[in-house]
Amino acid sequence: MTITQLQYIVAVDTHKSFARAAGHCYVSQPALSMQIKKIEEELDVLIFDRSRKPVITTDIGTRIVEHARLIMQEIQRMPELVKEQKDEISGTLRIGIIPTLSPYLLPLFVADFMEKYMDIRLVFEELLSEEITKKLNSDQLDVGILATPINKKSIIEMPLFYEGFIFYGASNSPLLKQNTVALSELNMNDMWLLKRGHCFRSQSINICSDQQTFHNRRVHFESGSLETLKKMVESRFGYTILPELSTLDMSDFQKKHIRKFEVPMPIREISMIMHRSFVKKRLIEILRDEILEHIPENMKSKERGRVVEISD
């Protein structure tokens, strides 16, 4: 059994295709298939069910792939250990970040980060939370930035800051006549929401009174973009809930639509997450420190509000 063979079975499990796995590993498909066949014969098991499209990993194959991933991660860790010992700061960091955070967090620190660390390459991918955890588990990402807690055994959570939920109401909303908004005053039938799959959607629903449910609405619309929901509100339709970072650089016109919630304000915990066998420890620490350096000081304390749960 060779490291190359382990690399090949991990690639097939990740891509669910021998052809795509071969392309990823820069070898021909027959060469990759032959090496996987050899390891199956050596172990006397079938790792992949080739009769299915996409390719299915068998039960025993899944356990073998899990061990292969651990071995590959330990191998990848060796160069990182050498760099840490030499105090070299270089490499590529693959980062998954949720859509309700990336447009507002990345502009705060990325330019300064790249100017300070010329030898670090950041590769960002905007993904939903579930997609981030899947890619961490399959070693397609090094770190994720999202709302927590997610409570997954294979994942380490490193809290960064605590972002408030902000009321954003239409100009004709009576709630804008108040200095703050009580959660009990929210009517879910007037709220514009993100599509299912966004953790921010479930948290927005959870901050409303438990007994509230949706009824028939004359206009029903769910978006994948907070910016679209803001436009709906600005057209004098209902309200939406926004993450605090998205309000920092708003125009004077937009600020008129904003109200904070009563104390204790609802907040979401934003964390960096890694697989338990993660590598690139030094690069991740640098990323964490740079983010915290650019976050408003008042967002760094969990005591500023009440963390809202994330529903499945």
**Phi and psi of 140, rounded to 5°?**
-95, -10
Pairing, β 180-181 against β 258-261: parallel
Strand partners, 156: 274
Q: How far apart are CA 36 and CA 39, in angstroms?
A: 5
pLDDT digits (tens, 9 = 90+) for 21-40: 999 899 999 999 999 999 99
Q: What is the pTM of this model?
A: 0.79
Taking the alpha carbons at both ends of the chain, their separation in whole angstroms is 40
- Token reading at 277: 């066998």
Domains in the chain with CATH codes: 3-83 (1.10.10.10), 89-162+267-305 (3.40.190.10), 164-266 (3.40.190.10)
Could you tell me the CA-to-CA distances from 270 to 133, 150, 245 in Å, in that order?
15, 11, 11
Contact status, residue 175 vs residue 259, Cβ threshold 8 Å: yes
pLDDT digits (tens, 9 = 90+) for 1-18: 889 999 999 999 988 999
Pairing, β 143-148 against β 265-275: antiparallel
Q: How far apart are CA 156 and CA 278, in angstroms?
A: 9
pLDDT band at 74 (very low <50, low <70, confident <90, very high): confident
pLDDT of residue 212 exceeding 70: no
Average pLDDT of span 271-276: 92
Amino acid identity for residue 46 in this structure: L
Which of 147, 153, 175 is CA-nearest to residue 268? 147
pLDDT attached to residue 91:
85
User: What totals of helices (H) and strands (E) does the chain contain, helices first?
Assistant: 10, 13
Amino acid identity for residue 118 in this structure: M
pLDDT digits (tens, 9 = 90+) for 216-236: 555 666 778 899 999 989 988
Q: How far apart are CA 25 and CA 119, in angstroms?
A: 25
Q: How many other C-beta atoms lie within 10 A of the C-beta of residue 85?
A: 8
Average pLDDT for the chain: 89
Assess whether the previous peptide bond of 296 is cis (omega < 30° from 0). Answer: no
